[in-house]
């Protein structure tokens, strides 16, 4: 198969973005790596379903996203009880990923409904257009837009206190330096 080396190269090139997407979805680097591995295995086994000339990255994102959702539903059933949501069950994201810097943001992301989380990441971080994100999530463009908007609002609510505090500290420092 002459195209096979190209396939491997293209899949390899997509790995960094797939990992970033996966860890933004699940908040856990180990689990993110497993999601990426499963994605690559599935993609490799279903190479025939990739249409040459279309966006390979979008195709792989679709596979990862679908796998994550199946897993998420399974895990949710396993861990959810009457008064506990999913996010509360996770230990702190910085402990899991080693990325202390974005701890609050990661934590806040996990409090968004998965629909909104994936839409926001695809459009706001992965750099997909609303149209591409809609294709990956198998929904209408308008649905993606409203999910992104709701996600932004919710994140702002969750992070405002933190960011306001940050702004105050910056302000204080400026004043102190000026004195």
Binding site for another protein (CB under 8 A): 1, 4-5, 8, 11-12, 15-17, 19-21, 23-24, 33, 36-37, 40-41, 44, 99, 101-102, 105-106, 120-121, 124-126, 152, 155-156, 159-160, 163, 167
CB of 110 to another protein, least distance (A): 13
CB of 82 to another protein, least distance (A): 32
Distance, in Å, from the CA atom of 158 to the CA atom of 175, rounded to the nearest integer, reads 28
Closest to another protein by CB, 33 vs 55, is 33
DSSP per-residue codes, 28-77:
-HHHHHHHHHHHHHHHHHTGGGS-TTS-HHHHHHHHHHHHHHHHHHHHHH
CB of 160 to another protein, least distance (A): 6
Closest to another protein by CB, 156 vs 169, is 156
CB of 80 to another protein, least distance (A): 27
Q: What b/e readout covers 68-101, taking b as 16+ CB neighbours within 10 angstroms?
A: beebeeeeeeeeeeeeeeeeeebeebbebbeeee
């Amino acid at each position: 198969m002459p195209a096979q080396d190209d396939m491997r190269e293209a899949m390899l090139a997509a790995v960094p973005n797939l990992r970033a997407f996966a860890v933004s979805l699940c908040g856990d680097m180990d689990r993110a790596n497993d999601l990426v591995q499963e994605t690559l295995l599935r993609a490799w086994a279903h190479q025939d379903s990739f249409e040459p000339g279309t966006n390979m990255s979008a195709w792989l994102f679709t596979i990862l996203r679908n796998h994550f959702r199946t897993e998420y539903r399974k895990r949710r059933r396993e861990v959810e009880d009457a008064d506990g949501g999913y996010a509360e069950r996770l230990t702190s994201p910085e402990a899991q990923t080693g990325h202390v810097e974005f701890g609050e943001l990661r934590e806040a992301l996990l409090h968004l409904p998965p629909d909104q989380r994936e839409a926001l990441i695809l459009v706001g971080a992965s750099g997909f257009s609303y149209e591409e994100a809609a294709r990956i999530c198998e929904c209408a463009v308008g649905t993606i837009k409203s999910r992104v908007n709701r996600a932004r609002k919710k994140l702002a609510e969750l992070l405002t206190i933190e960011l306001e505090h940050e702004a105050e500290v910056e302000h204080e420092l400026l004043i102190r330096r000026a004195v």
